[in-house]
Structure 1
Amino acid sequence: MLLPLGSGGTNTNQKKQIYKLNLFLNNNKRKILAAITLLFVLFWIIPSSSHEEINYNTSSSLVSKVFSSIAGVKSTSPKIMIILAVNSGGGVLRWKSEQEWAIERLSISNKRNFCLRHGYGLAIKDMTTDKRYSHEYREGWHKADVLKQTMREFPDTEWFWWLDTETLIMEPHISIEDHILNRLDSIAERTIQHFNPLALPINIANIDYKERPDLLLTQDCTGFNLGSFMIRNTEWSSLLLDMWWDPAAYVQKHMVWEHREQDALESMYANQPWVRSKIAFIPLRSINSLPPGACSDQANDDKYLYSSKENDFVINMDGCSYGRDCWGEMQKYMNIYEIKNNKWYNKLFGI
């Protein structure tokens, strides 16, 4: 650091100032270095969601593909891809409120950071212009259509993980392979014998449970919960999505099926052995924990409710738009997320 010098050279006072400054710097090197390090850490741990704006493309799909340079992955498609369907332009049926915008930005940032950490893909599907989903509540069936589109875009991706917008991944340091895929044999149920909230037929003819599961589902108090599920990229999955999206069933049943696409899949599971043979059920709290109020008739059942102490992987604010506060719930669990994951020593030491 140099002080300004006069045209006539350095006078005595300037020399004294420079000497004192050099003396101060030499005597306080460690303190200055520590202060710089602290500032770096403080800026580093500030969540990116508080600074960044989400920029959307004009196309129907904004895809962020992140690969680990350490692992040397050079594939054109990630092994696992998260899919989020959002209404980035303001909504299909109506314009979104400020809180709905905030929920969307928060959810996208949460999934993006998780994918960055593990080298997964993130497909953000913009549903704004897809008016066909708004006809007579057809919007609920968009999951099948969006999955079909994304599978065509990324034919080499093995697993697609659908997540609703009102969800948060609470344990970002855990990979989905370690948490689910590598231990399916120990956590998955191939039948509904032990948990059957809809009283579906437990057994039907011609089922082969020895087949490898291609669809991983969870159940809550109302049946199949499709806010978070995983599907493998196979010919069986493609056929299932075609049948699920088939307009014939929609036309016949859309006024009867209260839960729309959920009821459609449950009906296929109940009656089609080829469907049941490739589905496995994993514990709800493994990828789909619920907040109080989501299953109001069983509000205190540990089988459903998110537990921070037990490090549940995902929280799903399922049904929050029906008499609950979606933004309030998202804020509550985001605060828990920050306490659990944004401590500076967690980041420094990888805890």
Structure 2
Amino acid sequence: MHMAMPSRKSSTPRPYTPRSRGVPMLRRSRVQAIVLGLCALATLLFTISHIFGSSESIPSGTPPVVIITVLDTDHYSKAYLDTIKQNRNDYAKKHADLMLMLCYLDYATFFPETTDYDLAGAPSSWSRVPAVRHALTKFPHSTWFWFLEQNSLIMNPAMTVESSILDKVEGLMLKNHPVVPPDSVIKTFPHLKSHQVDLIVTQDNTGLAQGSFILRRGEWSKFFLDTWFDPLYRSYNFQKADAHALEHIVQWHPTILSKLVIIPQRTINAYIKGGPADESGLYKDGDFVIRFVGCETGGRDCIKEADQFSKQWRAVFDARS
């Protein structure tokens, strides 16, 4: 009986024919393109949702800037305070937000009085803090709040908070600069960007100047004002009351320092001669603001000091009407 023998394989191998890779490679490239496209679309949708979806809706007609001046009706004449109010109101009415092109929005003004707030026996200068807090509530959709104390005048109606300060803040800010001159070990942050800035102040020869400052509305601003107005600081009897309290919290609270910038004094806070400022901080024609710092002390007269500049700002404002 014969058994079938397995057939022997040829000793000559078949020629190797590589599998075609064209189709899989094409598929992979398409998959990669689709994935990249989906990622780009997701990024775009995420960005749009955060810019438009989660942002607060600001009602039409909302003033972009609110100017706050606290009036001391107990120690100043009605005529003088009316001049201060007219100065702010005339400036506010002349301002048009050019960034909105066809939508012209005036600034708003707010004139509370020192007696409107319970200061628990603290000096009346403390009233600026609850006044700004009050303005945040009264104008809940406005973005910027400029506190400008009563013994001062806006001198240049051509200058705006946006174009003269906010749009230029990164170039104006004094970086790595002592908070309290001349050699405080606590210094301003060197790398802040404009969107990170919530408080804009100046300083004179003695320290931070709280008579003219700009604050951005938000949760941080409420925290800052509440911290500044803490009963402990009001009762501590600082030599310069709220001014020294401000310097204290800026130096001891990094959360506050991290949102603050100091800009050159004359940008929003030029002084009349006789105030605590060197030549770089003294008022010159064309400056935004002049302040009569200390005019209520030492035999000086705020009304007389303001009189010549009152005539000047009226003439400049009328010329631009």
TM-score tier after normalising by the smaller chain length: 0.7 to 0.9
Q: Secondary structure at the match of 1:145?
A: helix
Say which of 112, 125, 130 aligns to 2:89. 112
Residue 135 of structure 1: SS of its match in structure 2?
A: coil
Is 1:103 paired with 2:80?
A: yes
What amino acid does structure 2 have at the position aligned with 1:284? Q
Does 2:264 match 1:279? no
So what's the TM-score if we normalise by structure 2?
0.72
State the Cα deviation string for residues 201-232 of structure 1 (Å, max 9, x = none). 2359x997457110000000111111111000
CA distance in 2, matches of 1:128, 1:196: 31
State whether structure 2 residue 225 is matched by structure 1 residue 250: no
1:150 to 112, 128, 135: 135
Aligned equivalent of 1:320: 295
SS at match of 1:125: coil
Q: Deviations over 1:224-281 (max 9, x none)?
A: 1111110000111110111111102222x21xx1111111110111111111110001
Q: For residue 309 of structure 2, what is the aligned residue in structure 1?
A: 333
Q: Which amino acid aligns with 1:318?
A: V
Q: CA deviation at 1:164?
A: 0.6
Please tell me whether the aligned partners of residues 289 and 312 of structure 1 are also in contact (alpha carbons under 8 angstroms).
yes
8 Å Cα contact 1:285/1:312 also seen in 2? yes
User: Distance in 1 between the 2:172 and 2:153 partners?
Assistant: 22
SS at match of 1:280: strand
Gaps of 5+ in 1: 1-72
Report SS of the residue matched to 2:169: helix
Is the 1:163–1:227 contact (alpha carbons within 8 Å) kept by the matching residues of 2? yes
Alignment-derived partner of residue 176 in structure 2: 191
- The question of 1:133 aligning with 2:119 is answered yes
| Partner-residue secondary structure (3-state), 2:67 | strand
**Rg larger in structure:** 2
Q: What amino acid sits opposite 1:86 in the alignment?
A: L
- The CA deviation string for residues 75-107 of structure 1, in whole angstroms up to 9 with x for no partner, is 2531110011114xx42xxxx35xx32221111
The RMSD of aligned alpha carbons is: 2.4
Name the structure 2 match of 1:216: 200
Equivalence map 1:222-261=2 (5 Å)? 222-251=206-235, 253-254=236-237, 257-261=238-242
Q: Deviation per CA, 1:104-151: give whole Å up to 9, x if none.
A: 111100000011111101111133354x337142x2222221111111
Which residue pairs with 2:165 in the alignment?
180
Question: How far is 1:305 from its partner?
Answer: 0.6
CA change 1:129–1:234 in 2 (3 A) is: closer
- Counterparts of 1:116 and 1:275, CA distance in 2: 33
Taking structure 1 as reference, are residues 271 and 322 closer, same or farther at Cα in structure 2, changes over 3 Å only?
Answer: same
CA distance in 1, matches of 2:116, 2:186: 41
Larger mean Cα displacement after TM superposition, 311-320 or 76-85: 76-85
1:203 and 1:83 map into 2 onto residues whose CA distance is: 28
Tell me the residue number matched to 1:168.
153
Equivalent-residue separation in structure 2 for 1:80 and 1:208 (angstroms): 26
